[in-house]
Structure 1
Amino acid sequence: MTVPRLDFSSLMPRTFIEHYHRKGIPIIITGLLSPQSNWDLDYLCSQLKTQEFLLRRYGKNRYQEDKRQWRNIGSGVDTTSTPFVEYAEMLRNHEAHQHDIYLAKCSIKSTPLNETEVVSIMREKLPQLGLEKPISDFNLWVGPGGHVECLHYDQMDGTLLQLYGTKKIVLFPPSQTSNLYPFPLYVHFYNGLKLRSWFSQLYPEHPDFQSFPKFRKALQYKQEVLLNPGEILYIPAGWWHEVTALGDDMVCSINRFWRVYPTSRAIFSWTRLRAYLGSLCAIPYVALSLVIALASPQRKQRLKEILQMI
């Protein structure tokens, strides 16, 4: 099974809406941006300078561990606030590679990047296809080659725009949720949003079939794509995806989330309902975390970390 690639100039809004958006089917859109529109490290430094971002510190041994032993995941991992130029130096000297330090899901709304030609084109052209109601800002993702964002799904439709380097994305449809062994809902009672029920407990590239035998069925529906600079991947809500930054260089993307259309695709989605139930289970833990953060000497930093998780 392959994800279709269509050039923006030949992709009619009606085609996108009826064949992909309405049905919730992934597609790669090409030709919207020039491959030369890449955001390399020097360019990012010139734009972001000393502006601070939360960096996720995954640690070099994380992916040798059994995920069932994890106590945090995604935006729930430990973070530190760091000026971008300092993070750039970590990428250059490979400290970021050695310790898997990643800048993820950081809004560019209050940065010069928000006024760039690339973002202006995205803001103008994507609504022409029918993606009319964004529910997030554009988020920046910058990290070392080799980094993996583990298999998970999102509750909203998403667009991922590749700007520097190449990413490999492994996809599974929502129908395979039970065969992908998501974390159980009750993890939220003990971990809040640090651990999430919309992440898989298995490694799709190195599966343990003895522990996760039903994954063999899911492999029949596996799709894999390479996303190159200037290309956009539309990821419908509920689609499982694992994203790997390829090569040894820095890799950069931006993404945005959108309202799910039609409403029936949102209402009758077990994956979305499951995620919302997990979030409800997390409320007591998150509320307590907020109280502790407000009483902390590092209140601003702690609140920033909690808000990014939410």
Structure 2
Amino acid sequence: MEVDRIDSASLTQKLFFEEYQKAGLPVVISGLLHETDWNLEYLCQALGDVEFPIRRYGWQRYEQDKRDWTSMGSSVESTVMSFTQYAKLLESGEAEEQDLYLGKCSIEHTPLIQKSGLDNVGMQLGLKKPVTTHNLWVGLAGHTTCLHYDTFDGTLMQLHGSKRLVLFPPSQLYNLYPFPLSAHLRHGLKVRSAYSQLYPDKPDIAAFPNFVKALQHRYEVILNQGDVLYIPASWWHEVTAIGHGMVCSVNRFWGIQPTSRALRSWSKWRAHFGSLVAFPHIIQNALTAGSSGKASGALSNLLQRL
């Protein structure tokens, strides 16, 4: 199935709320950022020596059974470097060899956000309750952010290159085999109960037989430069950078409106319960870091995972 696509010229705040936000349905808004192109040269000029944690995924992880993973998303091992250094790795081919990725990095206090105009996206859609700053995502074509869901509504703004997204509605929670809550007891927030244990494009049907039911509710969308995708809370999505070269996006999370949609979302509550289960692990790591004089770094890592 295809996600609805609407031109920004014909979109009103009332239409967006009634047809998509209130109903909790995804939609692509075309033309909202049609004059914005954050290519690598532009990013280097704007960010230069600003430092970011660069995740080192490594291609071998995608050959593993996800049930054997001990880290995912923002908990993947990372190395802090300047954006200029990262850009050199993108250009040299090293970033591709190691599947290096800049993900979920705030640009709130950088020159980039000061002249971006990205705040206009929320204003035009009538989104009034941001719960995060704008987060930058930069990597090469071929990188995949594996199937997961978020506990807040999100806007994904495509600023250079294209991405392919596979989505499933919240109703398919258990047909997508999320990691069990008990995984947090062993791994804390390094493993997330909001991530799927399967690969949607190459599923092991013997291990995950109910995934066949989820396929009846599968959506796919190609997000091109200038497009904005509204992803309601608890919608599953897998994101793959496609085409050639560097691909850049920015996302932001928003409070769920109307509130009733948040209150009746079991997926949202389930993810919060997972964080509670991880709490003893978090405290233990914080105490260990404090005694070793690494409390600041530990706090930074924790905030990234949240």
> TM-score w.r.t. structure 1 length?
0.96
> Aligned-pair distance for 1:126?
2.1
Q: Deviations over 1:246-273 (max 9, x none)?
A: 1230110000000001111000001001
When structure 1 is superposed on structure 2, of 235-244 and 39-48 the one drifting more is 39-48
3-state SS of 1:226 partner = strand
Q: Structure 1 residues 144 and 296, CA, compared in 2 at 3 Å: closer, same or farther?
A: farther
Is the CA contact (8 Å cut-off) linking 1:48 and 1:111 kept in structure 2?
yes
CA–CA separation in structure 2 for the residues paired with 1:54 and 1:300: 14
Counterpart position of 2:44: 45
Counterpart position of 2:219: 223
Q: Deviations over 1:198-224 (max 9, x none)?
A: 000000000110100100000010000
3-state SS of 2:37 partner = coil
1:130 to 2:126 alignment: yes
> TM-score w.r.t. structure 2 length?
0.97
3-state SS of 2:25 partner = coil
Is the CA contact (8 Å cut-off) linking 2:286 and 2:295 kept in structure 1?
no
Q: Share of identical aligned residues, percent?
A: 52
CA–CA separation in structure 1 for the residues paired with 2:243 and 2:291: 43
1:194 to 2:193 alignment: no
Counterpart position of 1:149: 145
> Aligned-pair distance for 1:241?
0.1
CA–CA separation in structure 2 for the residues paired with 1:132 and 1:123: 11
Counterpart position of 1:302: 298
> Aligned-pair distance for 1:291?
1.6
Amino acid at match of 1:241: H
1:30 to 2:30 alignment: yes
Amino acid at match of 2:58: G
Is the CA contact (8 Å cut-off) linking 1:104 and 1:141 kept in structure 2?
yes
Is the CA contact (8 Å cut-off) linking 1:293 and 1:303 kept in structure 2?
no
1:87 to 2:86 alignment: yes
Q: How many residue pairs align between the two structures?
A: 306
CA–CA separation in structure 2 for the residues paired with 1:40 and 1:127: 25
The CA RMSD over aligned residues, in Å, is 1.1
Q: Structure 1 residues 248 and 125, CA, compared in 2 at 3 Å: closer, same or farther?
A: closer
> Aligned-pair distance for 1:300?
3.3
Counterpart position of 1:62: 61
CA–CA separation in structure 2 for the residues paired with 1:182 and 1:296: 35
Is the CA contact (8 Å cut-off) linking 2:147 and 2:199 kept in structure 1?
yes
Q: Deviations over 1:185-244 (max 9, x none)?
A: 000011110000000000000011010010000001000000000000000000000000
> Aligned-pair distance for 1:94?
1.3
3-state SS of 2:190 partner = coil
Is the CA contact (8 Å cut-off) linking 1:188 and 1:279 kept in structure 2?
yes
